[in-house]
Structure formats: structure tokens, C-alpha cells
Structure 1
Amino acid sequence: MIIKDEKSGVKYPLADYELTPDMAIVDVELMINMPKNLTAASGIDALIHAIEAYVSVLASEYTNGLALEAIRLIFKYLPQAYEEGTTNVKAREKMAHASTIAGMAFANAFLGVCHSMAHKLGAEHHIPHGVANALLINEVIRFNAVDNPLKQTAYPQYKYPNVKTRYARIADYLNLGGKTEDEKLELLIKAIDELKEKLDLPKNIKEAGVTEKKFYRTLDEMSEQAFDDQCTGANPRYPLIKEIKQMFINAYDAAE
């Protein structure tokens, strides 16, 4: 659950098993007439829910399969739901399932710093949450996928950093090809970019309508708030504030 402080404008995630529903009613008819931009934003958000849950330090055998299957469904059916949302009932149904499955994954494995940063970027610059995540995910993947992080998270569930291997497994599950983990990582990022292009999402923060002056005026505050966000603790590589700041900067005019 996300709440927003109306005075400060800051968004806060709240996570507690008391907030977890006992039952979910997944009714495709409620989604048939969703606008295309909402379909794109909510769909890409579900994808990043699954990706962050899969590489989270709290991931487990119970969440791994859920996350991978949600990722597969979203890559296959989100473009169809986006383009044919009012007529393609199957695509809508598969996306409803994928979103729910991804929710089950991150409700147990939690998320990561991409969501921490998206909470602050979205609140400060009025960017839809899913779009904010989409603007940041590539930088977060590259940040996480290193063999020698400056600092690991406080309670890693592994003997050594293995997040690059986990991203590579996502690429394998999607049959993206590649022989080495580095090749698979790049192919995964490429596939995410291609999906975002199909959804007509902005390529960077600048293209999303944030002026350079306003971005840099709010950068330090966003970085500090993202560091303190509840989602940061489950990220596989523990970020410093200056590293979060650099990811924001990299995402501002990426792909230009």
C-alpha cells in the first residue's frame, strides 16, 4: 500500500501482512475499458514488481516461480492488451493473472530500490508510478548486476553476490539467448526497452516532461528519501545516497 503525505508530497510504502488480502477477485470485465496509458503504466509496473521480487534478498523457492511466470506472461500479453485492450479478452485475462501473480511474489519477497526511487520521482514530478519505474529499471539493473558491490545488503541470503546470475535466469526463461551472463543481462535490458517502446513510454525522465532545472533542484531530496524508503532494504545491492543520485542522473537523459 502506498500513501502520500499531502503536505510534503512524499509517498510512503506500507507493508504488513495485516494488509495482505485473504482473497482476490480477478474480474477481467473491470479492465476491458482501461485507457491505453493506464494499461501501459500498470502493466510495466507489474513487470517490475516481478523482476524486483525475483532478485530481492528475500526471494525464496516459493516466490521464484511466481515471479518468473509473471514476467513471461507480461512480455507476451502486455503489448496485446495495450493495442487490443477493448477486444482481446484473453490478453486482458492473462495480464490480470500476471499482475496478481507478481503481487503474490512481491508480497512475500518485497521489492527494491527501483520502487524506492520511483516513489520519490513520481511524487515530486507527478509521473505515474508505473512510468516512473519504467524510467529507472535499466539503471537499477546495471547497478545491481555487479560482482563486487561496494556494500551488500544487511542480511543477504547468499554467500556471495549472485544477482547477475538471477537476471540471466530471467533472460533464459524468456528465451532471449546469449552465452554469458553479461550477454544475457544486455539482452534482458534490450527486451525491456523494446517492450517500453511498444507501449509508447518515454525513454527518459527528460522526455517525461521534467525540466532540467526542476530535476536538479529536487535531486538531492529525492535521493535521500529513496535511500530511506522501505523498499530499499530488500534490494540485492545496498545503495549509498550518492549512488542513488547517480542512477537518477543517468536516467534523466538516457538513450539520447
Structure 2
Amino acid sequence: MEDKFKLKSKVYFNMEFTQFLEQVSGSRAFIVSDSIMEKLGYLQKAVDSLNKAGISSVTFTGVRPDPDINVVAEGMRLYKESNADVLIAIGGGSTIDTAKGIMYFSWHLENTTNDKMKKPLFIAIPSTSGTGSEVTDFTVITSQGEKVCIVDDFIAPDIAILDSTCIQHVPQHVVVDTGIDALVHAIEAYVSTNATDFTDALCEKAVKLIFENIKTIYNDIKDSNARDRIQNASCMAGIAFTNTGLGINHSLAHAMGGTFHISHGRSNALLLNAVIEYNSNLERSINEYAANKYAKLAKILQLPARTNREGTVNFIQALSELKKYLGVEESIRALGIDQDEFESSLEHMAEAALGDRCTPTNPRQPSKEELIHIYQKCY
């Protein structure tokens, strides 16, 4: 198979999103947002900017965390009525995922009814720095309590606008959850079986930027330089993993988050160290491919890495120290999840993770029993 690198989205950064929207071409916009962005006034700014461009707007603010199919269906109904030729998502990962879901399922519905849907100009404006959803062809929608990962080039935004003023009101726990999610994106893309020189460069830079800046915005979200760096890192990691795929850290997090309603970033954080230990196979004969990659990241962070094992161990230790500084719990149990309930869910969660779209590109192909062991180790 020939290697390739794709970037469908045109990325604008270090600018205010209003400047761009005032120059958009179109006749009618459908804006997907949430109640927080509406309350903070960003939604109205978007509407006003589009008005200056001569574009009328219909808004949908029914987005909720971990969007489910019912929210998407409600949005689809309004979207169809709007006859919009511009689709704008302004908000966090859940908002952008919802907009992607609306477009994806609308497209499939139109195809089954023989109506030809004209693809709108899709603009994504993230208000958190973590998912990278503004540049990916991924979306995660919850259906009947299960998180379903959809991957399709059709849903990648045409334009991503990185305006870090949109993240200046983010609370500390969201800084942590989204920041570590972005970090996991970069780490998993780096060790993916589909990694290339192009994606490696983005991952290395993203990991470095996150380690250098996340503590700063954790302590002071008003630091605009650190906000810009973290937002750029999140986007870079998104570009990387849309090319490489992810791994079992995300597969396990999707299943656990859907079962116990733990935020996606926190789920990833709680599983991260155990997944790296598994991928590098530190307990037995070392997996040289994964361990070599982790050791390279250790070197980038100026940690001792004379051997792959030493580098991997020190990288894991650096992640532990970072998570402790950011107040991440040391175990799943610390979230107050009942042990019996957790144990009874292990089989189902492991099966879901095994079948997840992120699992095939993991550097080690796990068995169900190995995934159960990772969950147990993290509990």
C-alpha cells in the first residue's frame, strides 16, 4: 500500500473568527453551537458577522456532551428546513461532532430517498483545545448507550478557524481533559501502524507544545500565547491522527466513557500509562517498534533515553508527573465507580473496544483478555 498524507481542511490561526465570517460567500447558514457559547456571546458574534456578509442564519443549540443520535436527529430536522449552503460548528468537540453527525446522516438519508444533497461549506470553530475535530474525518456519536466512531472523508470540515479567544473561559477541569485528549491523539498517532514521517513531525511538535504550555493555561487561562500554542498542538494532533488512525487508548476510553459517563479526556488520561506499558511490552520481551517511538518522545522532552526501555519508562514517569500536577485521579476507582459494577462491565467493554474503529492501527493487536487486564490494572 502506498503512503499518503491528506489535509482536507484549510486552517486559519492567530485571527478572530468574526473577521473570516464577515467575508464568507453563501446565502443561508446553519449554526450548530451549545448553550455555553450562546451565553458567552460567541454565537451572536457569529450571527452578526454572517449578517455583514449578507448571510441569514438558523441556529441549533441543543448540543450536549457526548452527543447522542436523538440530538443529531433533532438537528437534522432543523438543518433540512434551513436549506443552508453554509454549515458552521462553533463550540467544543461535542458541538463539532454533532455538526458532523447532522451532515453525515442527512447525506445518507438523502441518498436513500434519491434526493441529491449538495454539500455545504463546512466551517469549524473550536472552543476547546483537545479533540482536533476541526480537521478530522472522525466523529463519535452515542447510540443506545454505545459510542459509535464514524470515519468518513465527507465529514471533514472545509475550513478550521483557530481563534484562541474562544477558549479563554474554559474551566480548569476542561483544560485538563481536552489537553490530555490532544496529547493522547499525538502519542497514539505517533505509534500507529500507519505513521509516516509527515505525521511523526506533527506528533513530535504537538507533544512538545503540550508539555511546555498546558501547566501555564491550567494556572492562567488568560495567557494568550500558551492558549495559541495548545490550540495549535491540538490541531496538529488532529491532522496527524486523521491520517494514521489511533489505538486502543481511544478504543478503551470510548467503551468505558460510554458505560460510566466519564468524560472522554479523563477516560484517556486514566488509561494512558497502562496502554503505553502494554504497547511497549515492558513486562516481557520489549516491543521495539513502540518502545523506540516512546523513547524518541522522551528524548524530545530531554529525558534520559539511552535505551528504548529507559526512554519508555521515563516517558511514562513524565506523564504520571504531568497528570498529578493537573489533578488527574490516580485510578478509575477514585472517580467513585463501584468495583462490582466495574467488574461486571469488563467483558462488554473489552468486546466493544476490540471492535472499535481505533483498534486496528494499534502497534500491538490485543486479545479481549489483554484489554480486560488493562482495565483492571487502571481500576
Same fold (TM over 0.5): yes
Q: Kindly, what percent of the aligned residue pairs are identical? A: 37
Deviations 1:169-225 (Å, cap 9, x if unpaired)? 111111112321111111100110111111111111101221101101111100110
Go from structure 1 to structure 2 and tell me whether the alpha carbon gap of 1:148 and 1:126 turns closer, same or farther (over 3 Å shift): closer
Q: Deviation string for 1:90-139 (max 9, x for gaps)?
A: 11111110100110010101100000000011111111100000101111
The answer to whether the 8 Å contact 1:149/1:237 transfers is no
Deviation at 1:21, TM superposition (A): 2.0
Determine if the alignment matches structure 1 residue 230 to structure 2 residue 230: no
Match of 1:146 among 275, 281, 285: 281
Query: Any gaps of 5 or more consecutive residues in structure 1?
Result: 151-159
Q: What corresponds to 1:107 in structure 2?
A: 242
Asked if 1:208 corresponds to 2:331, the answer is no
- In structure 1, the residue corresponding to 2:246 is in which secondary structure? coil
Across the aligned residues of Structure 1 and Structure 2, the Cα RMSD in angstroms comes to: 1.6
CA distance in 2, matches of 1:241, 1:133: 18
Q: Which has the larger radius of gyration?
A: 2
**Count of aligned residue pairs for this structure pair:** 240
- Counterpart of 2:160, as a letter, is A
> Residue 91 in 1 paired to residue 229 in 2?
no
- Note the C-alpha offset of 1:161: 5.1
1:169 pairs, out of 277, 296, 300, with 296
Which AA in structure 2 matches 1:219? L
Match of 2:186 among 45, 50, 54: 50
Superposition deviation, residue 149 in structure 1: 8.9
SS in structure 1 of the partner of residue 302 of structure 2: coil
Q: 1:11 aligns to what SS in structure 2? A: strand
Q: Give the SS at the match of 1:207.
A: helix
C-alpha separation in 1, matches of 2:215 and 2:255: 27
SS in 1 for 2:159: coil
Unaligned runs of 5+ in 2: 1-138
* Secondary structure of the corresponding residue to residue 143 of structure 1: helix
What is the SS of the residue equivalent to 2:160?
Answer: coil
Q: CA deviation at 1:23?
A: 2.1
Does residue 1:37 correspond to 2:164, yes or no? no
| Matched letter for residue 58 of structure 1 | N
Which range is displaced more, 99-108 or 13-22?
Answer: 13-22
Q: 1:65, 1:140 → 2: CA distance? A: 22
Instruction: Give the match for residue 3 of structure 1.
Output: 141
Matched, 1:127 2:262: yes
Q: Find the counterpart in structure 2 of residue 71 from structure 1.
A: 207
Moved over 2 A (4+): 146-150
Higher helix share: 1
Contact kept? 1:54, 1:64, Cα under 8 Å: yes
Q: Counterparts of 1:146 and 1:30 in 2: how far apart (Å)?
A: 41
Distance 1:149 1:21, change over 3 A: farther
Cα distance in 1, alignment partners of residues 369 and 245 from structure 2: 23
Q: 1 or 2 for the larger relative contact order (CA 8 Å, sep ≥6)? A: 1
CA-to-partner distance for each residue in 1:49-99, whole Å, 9 max, x for gaps? Answer: 0000000001011100000100000011011111101x2111111111010
For 1:125-173, what per-residue CA distance to the aligned partner results, in whole angstroms no more than 9, with x for missing partners? 11110000010111111111038999xxxxxxxxx95111111111111
Q: Structure 1 residues 138 and 148, CA, compared in 2 at 3 Å: closer, same or farther?
A: closer
Task: Compare the two structures and name the one with the higher strand fraction.
Answer: 2
Closer, same or farther in 2 for the Cα pair 1:111/1:248, shift >3 Å? same
The AA in structure 1 aligned to 2:316 is I
Tell me what 2:370 maps to. Answer: 243
Letter in 2 for 1:171: A
Match of 1:220 among 347, 359, 372: 347
| Distance of 1:93 and 1:135 partners within structure 2 | 26
Distance 1:59 1:182 in 2: 21
- The code of the aligned residue for 2:211 comes to F
Q: Could you say which residue in structure 2 is the equivalent of 1:155?
A: none
Q: Which residue of structure 2 lines up, in the alignment, with residue 153 of structure 1?
A: none
Match of 2:136 in 1: none
d(CA) in 2 for partners of 1:51 and 1:141? 9
Structure 2 residue aligned with 1:15: 151
Which secondary structure state, in structure 2, belongs to the residue aligned with residue 222 of structure 1?
A: helix
Query: C-alpha displacement at 1:12, in angstroms?
Result: 1.3
Return the alpha-carbon distance in structure 2 between the equivalents of residues 196 and 138 of structure 1: 10
1:148 to 1:41, Cα distance in 2 relative to 1, 3 A: closer
Task: Tell me if the contact between 1:135 and 1:205 (Cα under 8 Å) persists in the aligned partners.
Answer: yes
| Contact 1:113 1:226 (C-alpha < 8 Å) held by counterparts | yes
Q: Is the 8 A contact 1:81 1:88 kept in 2?
A: yes
Residue pair 1:147, 1:161 contacting (<8 A) in 2 also: no
**Contact 2:288/2:308 (<8 A) preserved:** no
The whole-number CA distance in structure 2 between the counterparts of 1:103 and 1:111 is 10
Distance (Å, rounded) in 1 between the aligned partners of 2:155 and 2:191: 23
